[in-house]
Amino acid sequence: MLYGGIEAGGTKMVCAVMDDEGKIIDRVSFPTLGKDETLKNMVDYFKGFEIASLGIASFGPIDLNKSSDKYGCILRTPKEGWENVSFVEPFKELGVPIGIDTDVNGAILGEVVYGSAKGCESAIYITIGTGIGVGLYINGGLAHGLMHPEAGHILMTKHPEDKYDGCCKFHKNCFEGLACGPSIQKRWGKPAVELYNESIVWEIESYYIAQAVADYCLCYSPEKVVLWGGVMHQDGLYDMIREKVADILNGYIPLPKDYIIPPSLGEDTGVIGAALIGKALI
């Protein structure tokens, strides 16, 4: 059988078809333009395959309450023209079961089934890029609640040398506002890729990431922490984070050496997870 997956991002939409072994047999991406054009492109793409289900792993926030009138809709988003847009309704013409979750929940699902967190009962996926999102796979399932986890907005203790107020319009000192890619650029006047040799940049960045990871470890007790996103491409950053997490926890929770890791599915992590969200409905 074949299963469709969509990793829906604010910049591009990745669509793929996966087989029963988790292999991507076809993959394409569309720029995230106006909703009508973008959604039509994706629907037309999947019409070319006999898929048994469709899974969507989307940027958010998203309404995931199946009893809600807005189930499957994008909620408050800075992406112009996408607020209150349904990600489920346009694909109903395909005539297959449709599942939807957050992009980061899709990513951790992919890593738990086929990737670097394979076999874990509990694991988390943190992406640090344009924004910060956290996918939670807890006790054998994806975590939901009143809405869905927005753990990128946990509040941080400021680094003593950091004078920047944060770029989040909701919280001055949240993880996303202090450590996402745009916050780095606004704090230092350059994008992260141009600051590779500035030690203070990565001292402050690793301080916030480690603080968040330690908090997640204490709250969720994951067996693996998978870290990814554009900011994580800095040489040595993983080691800095591991060292600081160990210092923060101070031996209270003994962590294995391979605890904080990158994903092993690379750029396919999210879309494989998306396809698995749909497959679970069959």
- Residues 138-174 pLDDT 10s: 999 999 877 788 899 999 999 999 999 999 988 889 9
Are both 257 and 124 inside the same structural domain?
A: yes
Are both 47 and 121 inside the same structural domain?
A: no
* 50, 77, 103 - which closes a domain: 103
pLDDT at res. 225? 98
Count CB-CB contacts under 10 A for residue 250: 8
pLDDT at res. 77? 77
pLDDT at res. 148? 80
Residue 272 lies in a domain: no
Coil, helix or strand for 177? helix
Mean pLDDT per block of 10 residues along the chain (282 residues) reads 95 96 97 94 98 95 90 84 93 98 96 97 96 96 84 96 94 95 97 96 98 97 96 97 98 93 95 98 95
Question: At residue 173, what is the residue type?
Answer: N
Residue 279 lies in a domain: no
Query: How much is the pTM?
Result: 0.94
Burial class of 51 by CB neighbour count within 10 A (0 to 12, 13 to 18, 19+): buried
pLDDT at res. 112? 98
Question: At residue 33, what is the residue type?
Answer: L
Interhelix angle 181-188/199-220, nearest 10 degrees: 150
Residue 205 lies in a domain: yes
Q: Nearest Cα to 35, choosing from 92, 73, 76?
A: 73
Give the list of residues 6+ apart from residue 66 with CB closer than 8 angstroms, or none: none
> Structurally, how many domains does the chain consist of?
2
Residue owning tokens 């606004």 = 186
Q: What's 160's DSSP letter?
A: T
Residue 199 lies in a domain: yes
Please tell me the number of Cα atoms within 13 Å of 273 on its side-chain side: 34
C-alpha span between 157 and 138 (Å, rounded): 26
Long-range (24+ apart) CB contacts under 8 A made by 35-43 are: 35/81, 35/82, 35/85, 38/13, 39/85, 39/90, 40/90, 41/13, 42/6, 42/13, 42/15, 42/90, 42/91, 43/90, 43/91, 43/93, 43/94
Are both 152 and 247 inside the same structural domain?
A: yes
Are both 237 and 135 inside the same structural domain?
A: yes
Residue 12 lies in a domain: yes
**CATH number for the domain including 134?**
3.30.420.40
Which structural domain range is residue 72 located in?
2-103
pLDDT at res. 15? 98
Are both 120 and 93 inside the same structural domain?
A: no
pLDDT at res. 169? 87
Are both 15 and 141 inside the same structural domain?
A: no
Are both 145 and 52 inside the same structural domain?
A: no
pLDDT at res. 125? 98
Are both 59 and 124 inside the same structural domain?
A: no
Tokens coding 240: 């800095």
Residue 165 lies in a domain: yes
**Residues 227, 126: contact at Cβ < 8 Å?**
yes
